[in-house]
Amino acid sequence: ADNVIEFAVRLATRTRPKADSSPKFIKDWLSWGAGPRASQYLILGAKTRAIIAGRHTPDIADVRSMAAPVLRHRIVANFNAEADGVSTIDIVERLVKETE
């Protein structure tokens, strides 16, 4: 569904520190965000998860569950994140909670 695709794109876009839609903690803790392929792989992973669960179409919960595996290695935390003891997984988990 379109809302699932839009959510995946919005989630990937919000990882980019220079994007207007990025929250302050992203701007503070990341030096590099996920590229366009991240949203493609969020959708691919969500589709796979839906099929494994016996469903024909993915939903936003499927995208949310794929966020950490897909995004954690596509973002680069900066010194501020390291100094604050924040990992890329912490950042992705917070972003998922704060993204609608």
Q: Read off the CATH number of the domain in which 73 is found.
A: 1.10.8.80
Count of domains forming the chain: 1
Spatial neighbors of 39 by CB under 8 A, at least 6 apart, are 5, 8, 9, 11, 12, 13
Using the predicted structure, report yes or no on whether residue 1 has a pLDDT greater than 90: no
Apex CA 42: angle with CA 44 and CA 35, to 5°? 120
Instruction: Yes or no: say if 85 and 60 are a contact pair by the CB < 8 Å rule.
Output: no
pLDDT score for 55: 98
- How confident is the model over 36-95, as pLDDT tens digits? 999 999 999 999 999 999 999 999 999 999 999 999 999 999 999 999 999 999 999 999
- Find the mean pLDDT for residues 13-29: 97
Query: 50: domain range?
Result: 2-98
